[in-house]
Structure 1
C-alpha cells in the first residue's frame, strides 16, 4: 500500500504571479484547455515511457489499458506503472537466505499506481492525486 499525494494544478498569468488563468482559457493560439493538453501529452506517451532523468524515474501508461479519459467531466483516472532505475539490488526469498535475482542499474521495477487528474473548465484550479 502507498500513500496518496494531492496537488493543486494552476496556470499562472505570468512568472511570479499569484493570479491564475481559467483552465479552459489559457490564452493559447490553438485554444486548447488544460484538460486537452494533458490528453495530448498522455496520447503522445501512450506507447513510449515517460522518463524523468534527474530522479531516474520511468512511467509507463501501458497503452492506456487502465487509464480513462472523461471528456465531459474533464477527468483522467486509472492506473499507470511507475518505477525507478539506476541502482543494482538483490531480490531474495522471504527468509533472506537465497538470492533469486540481482537487478542491474538498467532494470526498472514497476509498481502500479492510481492517478486522478481533475481539470474543470470554468475554474482556475484543478487537482492531481496519485
Structure 2
C-alpha cells in the first residue's frame, strides 16, 4: 500500500539585520502577492532544476485572502529505463533520459499579512516530495524580486518538543490528528 503524508513548515521573512517582518510589509509588497505572482507565472510552465535533474510544474492553484492551495507535479529525468505492464511483464515504453514521470503533490501556503509567520503544508508520497525543489524555486524568485530580505522556511515544531527529542534519537514524526495534543507536551 502506498504511503502519503504531510510535512509542515513555517515561512518567515527577515530583513538584512535578521529581524522578522510582517508578511504584508516587505518593501512595499506582501509575501502573499509575491507567492501569487510566482505561482501565476509558473502555472503550466515547466521549470528545470538541472543540478538535481528535476522538473517542476504548477498544475493548478487557488488563491483566497491569505491561502494558496493546489497541485504541483515534479519528477526526475536524466536516465533511461523501461516501463512494463505489471500484469504481463511486457515493455510498454522505453523512457528516454530527457523524459520525466511527473507525480502530483498537494501544497497549501498560509501567509497572513498581519503576522510575521505563515505555514506551508506539503504532501509526500512514500519517500518523494516537493520541499526542496518548490522552496528553492520560491526562494530564488523571492531573492530576484525583493532586495534586502530573505525567505526562511523551517520545519514546524514546538520548542518543548524539540528539547525533549534532542535528549534522545528522533527517527520519525507522524501527525495523526488535525490539532495539537492537550497537556504539557506543547
Which residue of structure 2 aligns with residue 82 of structure 1?
A: 74
Superposed displacement of residue 58, structure 1: 1.4
Q: Secondary structure of 1:106's match?
A: coil
Superposed displacement of residue 22, structure 1: 0.8
Deviation above 4 Å: which 4+ runs of structure 1? none
Unaligned runs of 5+ in 1: none
Which residue of structure 1 aligns with residue 105 of structure 2?
A: 113
Superposed displacement of residue 93, structure 1: 2.1
- 1:36 aligns to 2:33 (yes or no): yes
Structural RMSD (CA): 1.8
Which residue of structure 1 aligns with residue 154 of structure 2?
A: none
Instruction: Give the paired residue count.
Output: 120
- 1:68 aligns to 2:62 (yes or no): yes
- 1:22 aligns to 2:14 (yes or no): no
- 1:8 aligns to 2:10 (yes or no): yes
The structure with the greater share of residues assigned to helix is: 2
Q: Partners in 1 of 2:84 and 2:105 — Cα distance?
A: 24
C-alpha deviations, 1:11-38, integer Å up to 9, x for none? 11226x3x31110111x1xx11001001
Cα distance change, pair 47–78 in 1 and its aligned pair in 2 (3 A):
closer
Cα distance change, pair 96–13 in 1 and its aligned pair in 2 (3 A):
farther
Q: Secondary structure of 1:41's match?
A: helix
C-alpha deviations, 1:98-118, integer Å up to 9, x for none? 222121111110111111011
Match of 2:53 among 33, 52, 56: 56
Unaligned runs of 5+ in 2: 123-186
Which residue of structure 2 aligns with residue 91 of structure 1?
A: 83
